[in-house]
Amino acid sequence: MDPRYAELAKQLIRYSTSLKKGEKILLDLVDTPEEMALALIREVRAKKAEPFVRLGTNRVTRELMLGATDAQFETSAHHLLTEMMDMDAYIAIRGSHNITENSDIPSKKMGLAMKHMRKVIDHRVKKTKWCVLRWPHPAMAQQAGMSTEAFEDFYFDVCLLDYKALLPAMRNLKKLMEATDQVHLVGPGTDLKFSIKDIPAIICGGNYNIPDGEVFTAPVKNSVEGKISYNAPTIYRGISFDGIELTFEKGRIEKATAAGGKTKELNKIFNSDEGARFVGEFALGFNPIIREPMRDILFDEKIAGSFHFTPGQAYEEADNGNRSTVHWDLVNIQRPDWGGGEIYFDGKLIRKDGVFLPKNLEKLNG
């Protein structure tokens, strides 16, 4: 077994989920090596806790979803929720041999699945200690434009980052965001204004997602005005998108376009429900190791010098009241090599070209 498996298992069990003696944890592993499952089970037992394991594959899941009925989704969600209600903690590791495995699942099926799974996800987020991460298959290395070996080294460097060292500066950013009313985002194709007044800011320092490195809040639902251009490529519901541009009026997406003839597919997603055309999250990303996008949101939303502005469901910890089956973290990178940009809080320049200017935030610049 690669010794880094045991290191990662230790970080996930002892730091990310802070598992305690006697607690039950569900290990939900999709297209993940058995050796990683063994490493996690051993670490759980070292803490005298109880491991439960679910193994899955994306190809099997796709086949089930293609023919699933509303009743079948409802029954499946019922059993998954019952299982989740028995757990104190949850870790999901999701590999993918083919990042577009779900690209031919009809959008209505995807929406139906998310409708029923929402209550499972909500319980997991609100009632368990949880952490979600990817697994570094060659498909991910290909996404990143790297050799398999180089990507594995990158993956473990990112996952095993000393997140504790970033916490003091993250707390400073949280305080600043919670004291802010008006936000102004400026950059190529972007001139967007909105309020974050009285909405909590949440620190993400390796507890819920690995990799991590962001502080998020949400815009006041109806306050978003202007235009935003996302320069990071993305994939959602198995479909790749580039060059997404959105225009907002009174918080709502009134115009949405995508490059490469994908505008129709883009609007199908935003037409999933009314909440999909409003924004549920605004976050600043600053993981010092992650520099380039790879169409994997758990990595891309943490890119150094980036922000994401997320159509769809708001998190209840930073709630603006928006509800949707969609939660799509779309990313803009503001470093000079990606076109630059500025972020203003109440008229004061806070970050320029991806670099935080206040001295008490400098540790977040990597």
**Residue 225 vs residue 113, higher pLDDT:** 225
Q: What is the pLDDT of residues 264-320, one digit of tens each?
A: 999 999 999 999 999 999 999 999 999 999 888 889 999 999 999 999 999 989 999
Q: Is the pLDDT of residue 209 over 90?
A: no
Taking residues 335-352, report their average pLDDT: 98
Q: Give the domain ranges of the chain.
A: 3-159, 163-365
Q: Is the pLDDT of residue 33 over 90?
A: yes
Determine the pLDDT at residue 18.
95
CATH class name, domain 3-159: alpha beta
CA distance 325 to 312: 7
365 burial via Cβ count (<10 Å: 0-12, 13-18, 19+)? middle
Compute the mean pLDDT over every residue in the chain, rounded to the nearest whole number. Answer: 95
Q: What is the pLDDT of residues 287-302, one digit of tens each?
A: 999 999 988 888 999 9
User: Side chain identity at 124, as an amino acid letter?
Assistant: R
Q: What is the pLDDT of residues 180-195, one digit of tens each?
A: 999 999 999 999 999 9
Determine the pLDDT at residue 366.
74
Report residue 157's pLDDT band, with 50, 70 and 90 as the boundaries: very high
Determine the pLDDT at residue 99.
82
Taking residues 194-201, report their average pLDDT: 98
